[in-house]
Amino acid sequence: MQEVIAVCAFKKREVIKMMELKEMTIQELEELISEANKVLAEKKRSTSEEFKFEFSATSDPRKGTPYVARLYWEDGKLQRDFYDLSRQWGKKQVTVSGVYTAKAGDIIERRSGGSWKNDYRAWYLVTADGEQVMVADIDSSKDKAKVTEYLQGKITAEELINK
């Protein structure tokens, strides 16, 4: 009997929520959906499996030191969380190497080096299978804008990969 009462109380709350939703404006509903997508993405990220990846790159430090960073969106802009990897310095080179971890859904930026005219960076999405799929070259503003939309929760990983 108590189970039936509990189910009825739950259904009543759901009906009230639906009535409140129907009274919201389109803009309010879109903001609610956006916030719900952010919460959902964070919950999925916190419960997803961690994967290990190896990185090694050598470059002239005058032209840019290699690195790996996890990208995320916070306070209205793109942020980087740099991984602490080993650095070996030579006379005119630096080699950065090590193992880093990332979860499914993470966007990883890998910089392998640079030249006087070019910057060799790319952004990768970590899939549920533990693969890294390149989703943006640093020179493609269109691809970077798509990744930014993903980090803001406006599009899904599938939409990002399928562009």
CA distance 1 to 44: 35
pLDDT at 59 over 80: yes
CA distance 144 to 29: 27
Which pair of structure tokens corresponds to residue 106? Answer: 């993470």
pLDDT at 4 over 50: no
Q: Which of 124, 102, 125, 128 has its CA nearest to residue 112?
A: 124
Cα four-point dihedral sign 38, 44, 47, 49: negative
pLDDT tens digits, 93-137: 999 999 999 998 899 999 998 777 877 899 999 998 899 999 999
pLDDT at 45 over 70: no
Which pLDDT score is estimated for 31?
80
Q: Kindly state the average pLDDT of the residues 24-37.
A: 80
How many H helices and E strands in the chain? 4, 8
Q: Do residues 143 and 163 touch, judged by C-beta distance below 8 A?
A: yes
Which residues are bridge partners to 74 per DSSP? Answer: 77
